[in-house]
Amino acid sequence: MAKKIVVIGGTGAQGRPVVKELSRDGEYQVFVLTRNLSSAISKEFEQLPHVTLCEGTYTSEEDLRVIFKGAYGAYVNTNGFNLGEKAEIYWGIRIFEIAIEEKVKHYVWGSLDYGLKKAGWDNKYHCGHYDSKGRVSEFILLQRPSHKMKTSVLTSGPYLEMLWEGMFVPKKVSDDTFVFPQPIGEGAVPMISLDDLGHYARWIFDNPERADGMDLEIATEHVGWNNLVESFMKVNPGKKAIRVEIPLEKFFEGTGRKKDDPVTFAPNSEGAHDPTTQTFWKNFESWWSLWRDNIIKRDYQLLDEILPNRIRTVEEWMRLKKYDGAPKELFQDYKRS
């Protein structure tokens, strides 16, 4: 009999490959919590085998209890840009507690690096949408001796797909020339392919004994911008890529966001009305500092062992995806979810 796995955040950029990978062969029956059964991604999921859509929200305890009933596993990735830093910590802990109460057997928290701690508690690196998830990770792993539920963390990072939409998209300045303007210095970003993120999530559920208590920190490669532009030109002969180092001020000007705007991408979300939530500027100033100063590390030998066929470089990803620098809209459902 297929094991029931609940996916919270399944309609987001990260959740989609997780749902698709968990549902691909009938080993698991995937239940996706969504606020909008008529959204484009919900309609797409309706066509997948072994997927059931459930209307509700993870900020409702009643909805959580209903969907967790009889579940073997749960993959939980909350939307920090909607919730804000404080509310994500609360709901990250509360969802976990309810999963224990409802006797879920294996709980996986989709996390990001606790950058403030990894940087030695220097506020320069306090990125709210990262640290909120990191704090929840530490809390839930510390509770393991007090309950029977297996608990794992999957710590990811910026997606390679952000080269299509997001802060890594190049600017086309002519038919054959692309500029990559970022405030990265000699640092590097541990980017992850979304396809492989789904594979790592599947590995955790397929290997519960080893994964119990594990914080699996994943990435495809630490991508520096010299490597990025060189890879682009290898994959796209005849096109030119130029790396341009720009100050943070100029980078933020190009985002269209004001310095004191809330970090949330959804103006009417809960986080937008919390006066203690970081501004867009402060959040992403710290975000870029994490990469520029090479604060975040990964164990690539471990990742090779766990996923031998993983994508290993940005160049390999570009070849697989036929990446040509043209933008694509990928994350709209995530922003609204």
pLDDT band per the 50, 70, 90 thresholds, residue 286: very high
Task: Provide the residue ranges of all domains of the chain, joining segments of one domain with +.
Answer: 3-159+191-219+296-312
pLDDT digit string, tens, across residues 61-94: 999 999 999 999 999 999 999 999 999 999 999 9
Tokens of 103: 């006797």
Pairing of strands 221-224, 188-191: antiparallel
- On the CB side of 262, how many CA atoms lie within 13 Å of its CA? 20
- 3-159+191-219+296-312 folds as Rossmann fold (3.40.50)
Of 176, 190, 171, 329, nearest in space to 251 by CA = 171
Q: Which residues pair with 107 in a beta bridge?
A: 74, 151
The whole-angstrom separation of Cα 222 and Cα 131 is 20
pLDDT at 336: 37
Over residues 295-309, mean pLDDT = 98
Residue 317 has pLDDT above 90, yes or no: yes
- If one compares 329 and 150, the residue with the highest pLDDT of the two is 150
pLDDT digit string, tens, across residues 132-143: 999 999 999 999
pLDDT digit string, tens, across residues 225-259: 999 999 999 999 999 999 999 999 999 988 888 88
The whole-angstrom separation of Cα 301 and Cα 63 is 40
Tokens of 81: 């840009």
Spatial contact of 213 and 140, defined as CB atoms under 8 Å apart: no
The whole-angstrom separation of Cα 337 and Cα 332 is 9
Which residue has tokens 């490669």? Answer: 221
Mean pLDDT computed over every residue of the chain: 94
Over residues 258-279, mean pLDDT = 72
Instruction: Please give the model's pTM, rounded to 2 decimal places.
Output: 0.95
pLDDT at 270: 61
132 CB-near residues (< 8 Å, 6+ apart): 80, 83, 85, 86, 88, 89, 92
Instruction: Report which residue type is found at 77.
Output: N
